[in-house]
Amino acid sequence: MTATPAVSVTLDLLAATPPYEQVRAQLAGHIRAGALQPGDKLPVVRALAADLGVATNTVARAYRELEAGGLVTTRRRVGTIVQAGSGSEVEPALLAQAKAFARSARVAGLSDDETIDLVRGALSASGG
Amino acid sequence: MAAGLLFVVPLFGLLLVGVVVLVVLAATHSPDAALPHEVASARRHGVVVSVVATTVLLLGAVVLTGMTARSLQGTPVLAAAVPLLAAAGALVVLLVGELTWPRPKGATRTAVLSDRRVRDLARGGWAVTALLVSGGLALVVVVGAVLADGSGRTITTTSVGNRVSATAGPFPGVVYGGPQLAALVIAVALVALVLWAATNRAAVVTADPATDALLRRSSAARAFRILTFAVLLTLAADLFYGGSAAQRVHDGAFASAVAVAATLAGLLCGVLSLVALLFPVPRLTRSALPQHPVRV
């Protein structure tokens, strides 16, 4: 048995965000945070759709959006893989701060949407 | 005395294998209480589907044998393919079991990212065994077709001047081998479908990736086990009847030796088919239980 924690995607079907966007955003987050490295293979569309209990089109659209954003590339026979240079070259210190913030938000009992709203608010306040 | 031993020894061997399998299963069985609820359910589902499939396999063989014998009025050509046709029925049960379970429930669903491929399930001892015996059956059918006479169901030796000297049957010529090959193709195609379904079905919630992979390997092994059993049983019949018929028409030392060897190989395949059916598939043992929870 492996003790390595696995990378996962969580879907909230009651959330206002469309399911494909939830999948896209989380995969993009994993890629930017380095949890998914260049060359890593994403699951086959049908398999991930089955695991999440959604239509294959939902996952296929998320993959298409990721490909359009230059984060992954799809090749016949190989599948969908994380593209080299797709990460935003985040500094380790910044990444650690992001993780610490996510943990603090969890401890504070904030939902994912509330946490993201908080970040958006902070970005707006800083003039971004 | 010798004939009695011929049946007693394999039966005793089978009994011994059965007892050993039961002891090993009991010693390594992990109680449901030690497993996450969903994983325990997954194991129960696998066992139930396997039992239903095995019942369909055995009952199907009996029913099909009766049907083919009646419908063809004493010339049971399709009877030679009964084990493989019954296996096809059992494989359909496994396929339905994979396609109807598990179903993700609830508004919040989590999927661990894992790259699953059909070829990952088409590996290992069961896959290799099924491939080897299937190849062996195809070879026996081809050789049988070459050696059989024009009727496709008997073997004939001719003396000088093309005078018929002896004919014996049943012999696995084209008449018997054709349906067998067709049934083999169907069974292999169904195994491929089971592998596809086992690869693409939803993951068991709360199962860590290794446990989930083990459950998928178990599903694949059950399909290979049924195919192996049916192919070995078909091989047993072909070699036993073919060898026996050849013994009756050949009097040369080498040909007779080959015929006797084929007959004995047929008996061996018969015993091995039952051993294959008894042999356990990969499963959750105490030592295989996950030690770490999955990070969600």
Chain B positions with Cβ closer than 8 Å to A: 103-105, 107-117, 199-203, 208-211, 288-292, 294-296
Least confident span in A32-41, B12-21, B70-79, B132-141:
B70-79
- Shortest alpha-carbon distance between residue B124 and chain A (Å): 18
**Band of pLDDT at residue A1, cut at 50, 70 and 90:** very low
Class at the top of the CATH hierarchy for domain A19-82: mainly alpha
Q: List chain A domain ranges.
A: 19-82, 92-125
Average of per-residue pLDDT across B213-238: 94
User: Quick one: pLDDT at residue B70?
Assistant: 67
Nearest beta carbon to residue B104 from set A6, A53, A79: A53
More confident residue, A64 or A78: A64
**What is the signed CA dihedral for A73, A76, A79, A83, rounded to 10 degrees?**
-20
Least confident span in A40-44, A57-61, A116-120, B118-122:
A116-120
Q: Which two tokens stand for residue A85?
A: 């240079």
User: Quick one: pLDDT at residue B294?
Assistant: 40
Best of B103, B109, B212 to disrupt the A interface by mutation (most A CBs within 10 Å)?
B109
Q: List chain B domain ranges.
A: 35-102+116-285
**CA A60 from chain center: how many Å?**
15
User: Quick one: pLDDT at residue B162?
Assistant: 62
Phi, psi at A76, each rounded to 5°: -65, 140
CB–CB of B112 and A8 under 8 A?
A: yes
**Sign of CA pseudo-dihedral A70, A75, A79, A82:** negative
pLDDT tens-digit map of B277-290: 888 888 776 555 55
* Mean pLDDT score across all residues of chain B: 84
- Residue B201 contacts residue A50 (beta carbons within 8 Å): yes
pLDDT tens-digit map of B125-163: 999 999 999 999 999 999 999 999 888 888 988 776 666
- Residue A56 contacts residue A17 (beta carbons within 8 Å): no
Where do runs of H (alpha helix) occur along chain B? Answer: 2-28, 37-71, 82-99, 118-121, 125-147, 174-200, 209-249, 253-278
Average of per-residue pLDDT across A104-123: 85
pLDDT at B292 over 60: no
CB–CB of A79 and B201 under 8 A?
A: no
Q: Which two tokens stand for residue B205?
A: 């919630």
Q: What percent of chain B has pLDDT above 90?
A: 44
Chain A / chain B CB contacts < 8 angstroms: 93
